[in-house]
Amino acid sequence: MKSVFVDGILEGKSALITGGGSGIGAGIAARLAAQGAKVTLVGRTLEKLERVAGEIKAAGGTARAASADVRDYAALEAVIAGHAEAFGGLDILVNSAAGNFLAPASTLSANGFRAVIDIDLCGTFNASRAAFAHLAKAGGCVVSVTATQATIPTPLQCHAGAAKAGIEKLTRDLALEWGGSKIRVNAIAPGPIEGTEGMSRLAPGDVADGLKRRVPLGRYGTIDEIAEAVLYLVSPAAAYVTGATLLVDGGTSLIGAGPFLELMG
């Protein structure tokens, strides 16, 4: 998909993307880089990050890979400092790292619940907090990836739903506190997006068929469509937008838990 934005809109900017080694995070990184941003991809598996960085470079962009677990604040601080040193600062933070699996709340272990809260919610706080001074210097912005499950009760997803709801609340709190530092803080809530690990894990077989039929726009979204919406949020077009969660879900949240209810048996 060709961007609707003027080419080079992020020239002179840099962005760090957690969860940049695959799926939505990788797509966002590629789109920001294609618009001129120098990007650092952060995740647990260096090999995946390097593969995406290689693709971005092959397309003419500037990218580096830095491995860190978003649950490890000190490691994040180090990769953010490395980014700022390599690229002369940090303008854009995208929080896309997420963990998830289908599990009934009645059998989910406390550690399983905590693992997802730690990755999604604490990881988002950790990266945002570690990036604060750099973003304040640049008058930068944060975009965090949530999900429609943040507001729509969805079976077998209480851990991820609670984490994503927490991120949306954190987004509003940080936007309030950090507006004075000229930092905008927003979130984006994708619906079902094709070609992601999340969709293959979370909507198996029959559920996927039923879901696709009932999405008001009649199809799954694409990673490109999420990346383009993030591009809007980090661009000057959104200069007066902060504390918002932008739904990019083809209307999926309008139908409630819908097809996911089949997962309850």
- By CB under 6 A, residue 115 contacts ligand HXC: yes
- By CB under 6 A, residue 209 contacts ligand HXC: no
Nearer to ligand HXC, 18 or 157 (CB): 157
- By CB under 6 A, residue 155 contacts ligand HXC: no
- By CB under 6 A, residue 160 contacts ligand HXC: yes
DSSP letter at 221? B
Piece in contact with ligand HXC (CB under 6 A), picked from 3-11, 73-81, 92-100, 207-215: 92-100
Distance CA 159, CA 99 (A): 10
- By CB under 6 A, residue 101 contacts ligand HXC: yes
Distance CA 257, CA 241 (A): 29
User: Considering only residues 43, 61, 99, 166, which one is a binding residue for ligand HXC as defined by CB under 6 A?
Assistant: 99
**Sign of the CA dihedral with 142 first, then 23, 2, and 60 last:** positive
DSSP assignments along 163-204, one per residue? HHHHHHHHHHHHHHHHGGGT-EEEEEEE--BTT-HHHHHHS-
Sheet of 141-145: strand order equals 62-67, 38-43, 14-18, 92-95, 141-145, 184-190, 245-248
User: Considering only residues 18, 124, 126, 157, which one is a binding residue for ligand HXC as defined by CB under 6 A?
Assistant: 157
Could you tell me the smallest distance in angstroms from the CB atom of residue 190 to ligand HXC?
8
Nearer to ligand HXC, 109 or 180 (CB): 109
Phi-psi region of 23 (alpha: psi -120 to 50; beta: other; left: phi over 0): left
User: Considering only residues 35, 100, 186, 253, which one is a binding residue for ligand HXC as defined by CB under 6 A?
Assistant: 100
Residues of the shown chain interacting with ligand HXC in the complex, contacts defined by CB under 6 A: 98-101, 103, 108-109, 111-112, 115-116, 119, 147, 149, 157, 160-161, 164, 197-198, 201
